């Protein structure tokens, strides 16, 4: 399929899923009521907001925007990391970002509490994720290499360390916070507010700016490091920049949505199957596909056990597990 029709189709599916995400939830809302609530919110009168207006405008619309930004961003991060590591199973949490973010979130849940109000949990998770990424970069600098196998091993080592810290905090901390910890560690969009939308937009924009500025350099990496060097590309510098921008964006997404696993692993494979391996079409399709997949997963998470809401990470993990099984069967054939 050509790029333009594929992007148009993906954008249409994403828009349809975004509308469904506004309609469905703990309480389904009719399309007429949705447009009425949006119209009332856009009016200039000073009347108090109705309950329906608060649900649609203050809860569900920012949830849609955060899902689109986080899904698109995680898909793009997965595509870039799979290129850098030359590993088809690399995902955005390769560098221990998920474990670092989880440790930061669990630290404030079990010990300090909401000292900074609403922003306490996102800031702690962001700081933990960035700390994990910096430790990985420091390890690589000490080793004097950015070889893919060293990169993966450094990420695994940091991930295990932060996982141990998280488990200790859960065991030694306030046990009443266990439910909050479980829901956050499995991912969810419950923290989505208009206040967090600029944060997720910043994460996505940083990826888009880097990807479109460096997509030809990323294409050169497909031929191997020696080929890229022969084209005048500084491999170590490029690898470091990719790691930093992916770590920054992923830490932002995790700080708002929690750990949403397998999305960044599955989406790039779908994008390459449609648009090929070159990064301009691959990253564009990864963004659209990731946004659509996270929106669809969020809708399923809210309707499968309604009125109770499943962590969206359960849905994405189930999809990812099935996809990996299909990859293995395909490789066997």
Give residue-wise pLDDT tens across range 56-110: 888 899 999 999 999 999 999 999 988 888 888 788 877 777 788 778 878 887 7
Coil vs helix vs strand at 111 = helix
Give the span between the Cα atoms of 97 and 81, in whole angstroms: 13
User: What's the CA dihedral at 69, 71, 76, 78 to 10 degrees?
Assistant: 140
| Mean pLDDT, range 269-283, rounded to an integer | 90
Give residue-wise pLDDT tens across range 98-133: 788 778 878 887 777 666 666 777 888 888 888 888
Q: Is the pLDDT of residue 202 over 60?
A: yes
Q: Is the pLDDT of residue 44 over 60?
A: no
What domains can be seen in the chain, in order of their start residue? Answer: 3-332 (1.10.3470.10)
CA 203, distance to chain mean position in Å, is 10
Give the span between the Cα atoms of 191 and 194, in whole angstroms: 10
Phi-psi map region of 207: left, alpha, beta (phi>0 left; psi -120 to 50 alpha) = alpha
Say what the pLDDT of residue 176 is: 59
Nearest to 279 by CA among 202, 205, 222, 229: 222
Give residue-wise pLDDT tens across range 144-189: 766 777 777 888 888 888 888 888 887 776 665 666 667 667 888 8
Give the span between the Cα atoms of 160 and 179, in whole angstroms: 22
Give residue-wise pLDDT tens across range 249-275: 888 898 888 888 888 888 999 999 898
Bigger pLDDT: 45 vs 239:
239
End-to-end CA distance of the chain: 24
Give the span between the Cα atoms of 244 and 41, in whole angstroms: 39
């Amino acid at each position: 399929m050509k790029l333009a029709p594929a992007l148009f189709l993906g954008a249409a599916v994403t828009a349809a899923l975004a509308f469904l995400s506004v309609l469905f939830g703990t309480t389904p809302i009719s399309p007429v009521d949705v447009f009425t609530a949006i119209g009332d919110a856009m009016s200039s009168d000073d009347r108090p907001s109705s309950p329906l207006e608060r649900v649609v405008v203050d809860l569900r619309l920012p949830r849609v925007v955060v899902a689109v930004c986080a899904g698109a961003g995680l898909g793009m991060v997965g595509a870039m990391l799979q290129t850098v590591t030359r590993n088809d199973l690399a995902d955005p949490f390769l560098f221990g970002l998920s474990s670092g973010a989880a440790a930061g979130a669990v630290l404030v849940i079990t010990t300090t509490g909401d000292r900074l109000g609403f922003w306490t949990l996102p800031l702690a998770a962001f700081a933990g994720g960035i700390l994990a990424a910096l430790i990985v970069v420091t390890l690589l600098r000490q080793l004097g290499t950015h070889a893919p196998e060293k990169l993966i091993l450094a990420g695994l080592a940091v991930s295990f360390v932060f996982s141990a810290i998280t488990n200790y905090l859960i065991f030694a901390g306030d046990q009443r916070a266990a439910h909050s910890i479980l829901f956050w560690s499995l991912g969810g969009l419950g923290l989505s507010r208009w206040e967090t939308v600029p944060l997720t937009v910043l994460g996505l924009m940083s990826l888009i700016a880097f990807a479109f500025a460096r997509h030809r350099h990323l294409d050169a990496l497909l031929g191997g490091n020696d080929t890229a060097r022969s084209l005048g590309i500084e491999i170590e510098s490029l690898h470091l920049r990719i790691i930093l921008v992916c770590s920054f964006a992923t830490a932002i997404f995790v700080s708002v949505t929690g750990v949403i696993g397998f999305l960044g692993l599955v989406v790039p494979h779908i994008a390459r199957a449609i648009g090929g391996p070159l990064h301009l079409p691959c990253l564009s399709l990864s963004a659209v596909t990731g946004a659509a997949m996270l929106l669809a997963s969020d809708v399923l998470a809210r309707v499968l056990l309604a009125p109770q809401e499943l962590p969206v990470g359960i849905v994405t993990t189930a999809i990812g597990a099935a996809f990996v099984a299909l990859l293995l069967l395909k490789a066997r054939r």
